[in-house]
Amino acid sequence: MSIRWRRREVGLLDAVTGWARERFTSRQIVLGLSLVVGLSTGLVAFVLKWGIEEIRVLLTERVATSQMSWVYLVYPAVGILLTALFIRYVVRDDISHGVTKVLYAISRKKARIKPHNRWSSMVASAITIGFGGSVGAEAPIVLTGSAIGSDLGKRFHLPRNTLMLLVGCGAAGAVAGIFKAPIAGMMFVLEVLMLDLNMASLLPLLTTSITSVCVSYALYGTNAMFDFSLENEFSIAIIPACLVLGAVCGLVSLYFTRSMNWFEQLFARLKKPWMKFLVGAVTLGLLIYFLPALYGEGYNVVGQLMQNASADEIMHNTIFYGTGTRSLLLYLGLVLLMKVFASAATNGGGGCGGVFAPSLFVGALTGFVFAAFWDKLLDIPDGREGFMSAQNCVLFGMAGLMSGVMHAPLTGIFLIAELTGGYQLFVPLMIVSASAYLTINIFEPHSIYAMRLARTGELLTHDKDSAILTVLNLGSLLEKDFVTVRPDWDLTKIVVAIQQSRRNLFPVVDAAGRFAGVMTLDDVRKYMFRPELYRQYRVRAFMKTPPAILTTADTLKAAMQKFDETKAWNLPVVDVEGRFIGFISRSGLFSSYRKTLVDFTAE
């Protein structure tokens, strides 16, 4: 019955896509699909936020705030366990590092994302975060939205560049819907996913972002995510402080990025899933038990800092409860330092979530702590010129950390402005974001999402030349119609091989198939018409070593460099064990490069 129903569903979808392709132009189809993506991502964002909040309230509404509670030891571990079991036995695929997976799909998978990502990361992250996992829902929802866009594009058999655009629309709609921030959604696609913005892509991205935000407005109101009221307007006197805060945010971003990678590598060394779960659950449980602000995404703490909440309200369930403002900065400093380990423990132990929310959380704490130290250091009283309002600095810090961790200053500026309605602080937001980005760029050239792919040469960038070489696949350019010869073959067998081949180039391999060298027709030509020499000459007499050898691990960029260095027309390709795979020709590489360039620049 289910097979019959699936066939009907596929037949109906094929009929719809065929009808649309007959009656509408490709641009009209893309625009219509961007509208559908916007509606879908807006609904998905609402469902995810609702699910996280319902689980959180169900678990914690009766927990007392005046003392430490054992639930903070148990709940996160239960959430990680349930998520790990869901991924292992239901999804049966790796769904971590959502934004990195989108980047990888764009650069290496022709923007094709597995269908299960339309729902799997959403369910997994709701369980993880609802039970107190110290990660964010934004990366999973970006993967979900991108998967929706990819799936729609595949159903309409759209070309690669259009499919990439729909993946970008899904990501933009996800960010726009969950934050009610349409401009930030578009900037995220431009800076983090590194898709080029032109007139052909502008309207679909805008349509998706606006549609997603409208769905969010309809479902849970038009209010900004954080309730913010401006206390101190921008003045020239705070520019030095903004520059220093930006530099501090850049350094904190460096700490965040490198600590996250270091801790993730520790988990990667643990081969058994139960060991990863045990280490992650114990680490996260202890951190949250002593520092409950690490529980969940942490947006409630950000809201408290913006509203100038009391110290006891911020430090509830801790040993610091009741100590007043004397311990607040110490507590927030500890939370700031430990957040990265709590996030890495959540994902490393088997949970599912992103670093979007943790970076905003750490940024808010950085800004708050900086304001307190800056004003005390310079002895600036409240309200005087040059005074750094703690509430304003919470916003500045969030923009700075996002700019540093994600290498996305425009996203940070517009997201914080849209999250709070704090457009009056646009200039200081720009100063802090630019300063943070310039600071971390000295130490880390890539964002926390892109650095994993950059190490292996699989990152798509705005550089057209580099982007095309990244998109092209070494395997797709392999030419395999070569007749191989053995080093010990005599001229009799060589002549037979020449008769069978349509090429004038012959790879020489040993009995195990390992590459030994090359032989050309020109080398043999003057001997092949003299039968009396057939028993005297063997392949090794004509064999030469090629000027360079490519491996299956090489990128196309490396292949292009070897062609430029050697001036060769053909280069052999071997696998990791040295076995011959095929040849790549200079003409074939440049032909594919030219075709891909046309696809990239076509509107």
Q: What is the pLDDT of residue 333?
A: 92
Q: What is the pLDDT of residue 5?
A: 45
User: For residue 603, what is the enclosing H or E element?
Assistant: none
Cα–Cα distance list, 307 to 106, 232, 301, 310, 439 (Å):
41, 14, 10, 9, 30
More confident residue, 165 or 376: 165
Give CA–CA dist 368/362, Å, rounded. Answer: 10
Instruction: Identify which of 415, 430, 406 has the alpha carbon closest to the alpha carbon of residue 246.
Output: 430
Residue 239 class from Cβ within 10 Å (0-12 exposed, 13-18 middle, 19+ buried)? middle
More confident residue, 461 or 557: 557
Q: Is the pLDDT of residue 479 over 50?
A: yes
Is the torsion defined by CA of 374, 380, 385, 391 positive or negative? positive
Mind listing the pLDDT tens digit for each residue in 7-52? 554 556 667 777 776 777 778 888 999 999 999 999 999 999 999 9
Mind listing the pLDDT tens digit for each residue in 529-551? 788 777 788 888 899 999 999 98
Give CA–CA dist 332/508, Å, rounded. Answer: 66
Give CA–CA dist 397/203, Å, rounded. Answer: 32
Q: What is the pLDDT of residue 37?
A: 96
Q: Is the pLDDT of residue 229 over 80?
A: no
Give CA–CA dist 172/163, Å, rounded. Answer: 14
Mind listing the pLDDT tens digit for each residue in 344-373? 999 999 899 888 899 999 999 999 999 988
Per-residue DSSP letter, 195: P
Q: What is the pLDDT of residue 102?
A: 84
Q: What is the pLDDT of residue 449?
A: 79
Q: Which residue has the tokens 């062609």?
A: 563
Q: What is the pLDDT of residue 572?
A: 92
Half-sphere CA count of 438, side-chain side, radius 13 A = 11
More confident residue, 341 or 449: 341
More confident residue, 228 or 567: 567
Structure tokens at 189: 């696609």
463 φ, ψ (degrees, to nearest 5): -70, 110
Q: What is the pLDDT of residue 14?
A: 65
Q: Which of 60-69, 97-106, 496-505 has the lowest mean pLDDT?
A: 60-69
| Average pLDDT of the chain, as a whole number | 84
Average pLDDT over residues 516-534: 85
Mind listing the pLDDT tens digit for each residue in 259-289? 998 998 898 888 888 999 999 999 998 898 8
Residue 390 · residue 369 · CB < 8 Å: no
Q: What is the pLDDT of residue 551?
A: 87
Q: Which residue has the tokens 């690669």?
A: 160
Mind listing the pLDDT tens digit for each residue in 171-215? 999 999 999 999 999 999 988 887 766 777 789 999 999 999 999
User: For residue 573, what is the enclosing H or E element?
Assistant: strand 570-574
> Which of helix, strand or coil describes residue 421?
coil
Structure tokens at 484: 């191989």
Q: Is the pLDDT of residue 245 over 60?
A: yes
Average pLDDT over residues 76-105: 87
Report pTM.
0.78
Q: Which of 323-332, 344-353, 401-410, 468-477 has the lowest mean pLDDT?
A: 468-477
Residue 386: CB atoms within 10 A of its CB come to 15
Q: Where do the domains of the chain lie, and which CATH numbers do they carry?
A: 12-220 (1.10.3080.10), 236-458 (1.10.3080.10), 466-601 (3.10.580.10)
Cα 541 to chain centroid distance, Å, stands at 53
Q: Is the pLDDT of residue 482 over 70?
A: yes
Structure tokens at 37: 């993506």
Give CA–CA dist 572/230, Å, rounded. Answer: 65
Residue 142 · residue 99 · CB < 8 Å: yes
Q: Is the pLDDT of residue 324 over 80?
A: no
User: For residue 480, what is the enclosing H or E element?
Assistant: none
Instruction: Identify which of 374, 331, 336, 403 has the alpha carbon closest to the alpha carbon of residue 245.
Output: 374
More confident residue, 523 or 402: 402
Q: What is the pLDDT of residue 191?
A: 87
User: For residue 505, what is the enclosing H or E element?
Assistant: strand 505-509
Mean pLDDT: which of 54-68, 87-101, 104-118, 496-510 is highest?
Answer: 496-510
Instruction: Identify which of 99, 70, 543, 553 has the alpha carbon closest to the alpha carbon of residue 290.
Output: 70
Q: What is the pLDDT of residue 65?
A: 46
Q: Is the pLDDT of residue 314 over 50?
A: yes
Q: Is the pLDDT of residue 377 over 80?
A: no
Residue 335 · residue 294 · CB < 8 Å: yes
Average pLDDT over residues 387-391: 79
Structure tokens at 320: 């610091």
